[in-house]
Amino acid sequence: MTIPHTSFRDSVERMFTHAAGLMDLQPGLEEKIRVCNSTYTVRFGVRLRGQIHTFTGYRSVHSEHMEPVKGGIRYSLDVTQDEVEALAALMTYKCALVEVPFGGSKGGLCIDPRAWNEDELERITRRFTYELSRRNLISPSQNVPAPDMGTGEREMAWMADAYKRLHPDDINAKACVTGKPRHAGGIEGRVEATGRGVQYALREFFRHDDVMKKAGLTGTLAGKRVIVQGLGNVGYHAAQFLSVEDKALITCVIERDGAISNPQGINIDSLRGHIRATGGIKGFVGGDYRENGLAALEDDCDILIPAAVESVIHADNAERIKCKLIIEAANGPVTADADAILKRKGVVIIPDMYANAGGVTVSYFEWVKNLSQISLGRLERRHEEARARMLVEELERISADTGTNFELAKGFKEAFLHGADELDLVRSGLDDTMREAFKKMKEVWMSNPKVDDMRTAGYVVAIRRISNVYGSLGL
């Protein structure tokens, strides 16, 4: 992989500084918002395979202007302090932009999760949780981790259980992490939330002709050629929803071991099955394979969805990128240098702090559900159904009494009589969040000529909201 010229944290800080420079912030506030409050590094040993193995982990708290602070835990050998701090900063801005009441945090463990079996990973995760708990870096009221690259429901369940054992008298213990399995206090729709949010963000983008025009796009998502990098949690769900529900063509998928292309569109479920069975995309029969996956980022397409790691589009390849629109499903896939080049080329970027905010949005719903100890929709669902039934029966009675004999379409009747369950409410809340945040960003982007792209608009909205909190604190 080409070494990016700018570190991930530098990139985030440059983008932040560009936006903050357009605002009239009180002296010193820009610096206060920009800096990362603290980063805790822990090294701990776990006896595995007959010897002690030492692991290094981080939990960074970027901003506590709202608490708890929130952010995923990443398992990867590439985890560094720089990366964790950049990701924590992005969490602060993301939460502010989509109006979830959290500060920003992020964690990581330097580990290759594929190198350890399930039993070993559980012991490592439980020990990491213990170290975080000792310093209040996992707690329902102060710091709430979630899944990120290399972690998922399983790890969150282990963390929640480890926390509960350490704090048996905490009635809110379940809310110490989000992204848990449903049976362990999770919420419907969290696994796919980030990918679903990418879909909702794109749908919203395609509702605005003026914004589409900036990218040189017209029409709908149907038939648009899409390249996806990374077919993990976020990339798989985004690709699956876009291809099955919006009829977009996923013309290329890039993974660690290469790229698969098919101009007719790739069957995402089949490819996912192949990856699960073989460990990679090589040998998949539904498209043409090439070993140099990174080069495929430069293929012609309408929409490019980087959904793997940061800094994949940088000063050395940005000039050759041919898509019209990039939606940053991953955090930080475009460096600050590349961002400037792409802007000059007219490529529109839907920024990470908005594009992948679906995860933290649904995590917020899960946290609220855990604190209220009741599932979403439990109180009102049957009541809603009863009222809908009353209306339908009354209409049917009038129809019979007056001899008009009209009939409601079967599909309509079933849908109307269905009270909203947890998944319906989660989707509705997520859709609303993505639409509202988009409109806010667009308003700032379109109304201020100095705000030259959607990313800057996102930062302006976020910084304004954070500075309002500091203002109300008298800082």
- Binding-site residue ranges for substrate: 70, 94, 363
Residue numbers belonging to the annotated binding site for NAD(+): 194, 233
**Using the rule CB under 6 A, is 11 a contact of ligand NAD?**
no
Q: Residue 22 Cβ, how far from ligand NAD at the closest point, in Å? A: 26
Distance CA 10, CA 121 (A): 32
Applying CB under 6 A, among 359, 426, 437, 461 the residue interacting with ligand NAD is: 359
Distance CA 65, CA 55 (A): 31
For tokens 């209220």, name the residue.
Answer: 372
Cβ-based nearer residue to ligand NAD, 97 or 234: 234
Q: Residue 34 Cβ, how far from ligand NAD at the closest point, in Å? A: 20
Applying CB under 6 A, among 231, 304, 348, 353 the residue interacting with ligand NAD is: 231
**Using the rule CB under 6 A, is 150 a contact of ligand NAD?**
yes
**Using the rule CB under 6 A, is 356 a contact of ligand NAD?**
yes
Q: Residue 188 Cβ, how far from ligand NAD at the closest point, in Å? A: 15
Cβ-based nearer residue to ligand NAD, 175 or 329: 329
Using alpha carbons only, what angle is made at residue 3 by residues 320 and 312, rounded to the nearest 5 degrees? 50
48 in Cβ contact with 29 (< 8 Å): no
Please state whether 32 falls in left (phi above 0), alpha (psi between -120 and 50) or beta: alpha
Task: Tell me the H-state helices in 374-421.
Answer: 381-402, 410-416
301 in Cβ contact with 336 (< 8 Å): no
**Using the rule CB under 6 A, is 145 a contact of ligand NAD?**
no
Residues 233-292 that bind ligand NAD (CB under 6 A): 233-235, 254-256
**Using the rule CB under 6 A, is 366 a contact of ligand NAD?**
no
**Using the rule CB under 6 A, is 308 a contact of ligand NAD?**
yes
The alpha carbon of residue 36 and the mean position of all alpha carbons in its chain are separated, in whole angstroms, by 21
Distance CA 475, CA 472 (A): 8
Q: Residue 28 Cβ, how far from ligand NAD at the closest point, in Å? A: 31
Segment interacting with ligand NAD (CB under 6 A) among 40-48, 119-127, 148-156, 159-167: 148-156
48 sits in which H/E element: strand 38-48
Cβ-based nearer residue to ligand NAD, 79 or 217: 79
Cβ-based nearer residue to ligand NAD, 10 or 257: 257
Q: Residue 293 Cβ, how far from ligand NAD at the closest point, in Å? A: 6
Distance CA 369, CA 120 (A): 31
Segment interacting with ligand NAD (CB under 6 A) among 19-27, 316-324, 328-336, 390-398: 328-336
Cβ-based nearer residue to ligand NAD, 191 or 451: 191
What are the C-alpha distances in Å from 347 to residues 14, 132, 138, 151, 380? 19, 41, 40, 32, 45
Count of residues near ligand NAD by CB under 6 A: 24
Cβ-based nearer residue to ligand NAD, 312 or 348: 312
**Residue closest to ligand NAD, measured at CB:** 232
**Using the rule CB under 6 A, is 353 a contact of ligand NAD?**
no
The 434-473 contact track toward ligand NAD, x by CB under 6 A, reads ----------------------------------------
How many Å is the Cα radius of gyration of the chain?
Answer: 23
> Which residue among the candidates 106, 224, 369, 440 is catalytic per the annotation?
106
Q: Residue 37 Cβ, how far from ligand NAD at the closest point, in Å? A: 20
Cβ-based nearer residue to ligand NAD, 155 or 302: 155
| DSSP assignment of 273-331 | HHHHHHSSSTT-TTSEEES-TGGGGGS--SEEEE-S-SS-B-TTTGGG---SEEE--SS
On the CB side of 33, CA atoms within 13 Å amount to 31
Beta strands in 79-234 (DSSP E): 103-110, 143-147, 225-229
**Using the rule CB under 6 A, is 297 a contact of ligand NAD?**
no
- Percent helix, percent strand, percent coil in the chain, to nearest 5: 50, 15, 35
For residue 324, indicate whether it is catalytic.
no
Is the four-CA dihedral 64, 70, 75, 79 of positive or negative sign? negative
For tokens 């920003």, name the residue.
Answer: 104
Residue numbers belonging to the annotated binding site: 70, 94, 194, 233, 363
Catalytic residue numbers? 106
Q: Which residues bind ligand NAD (CB under 6 A)?
A: 147-150, 194, 229-235, 254-256, 293, 307-309, 329-331, 356, 359
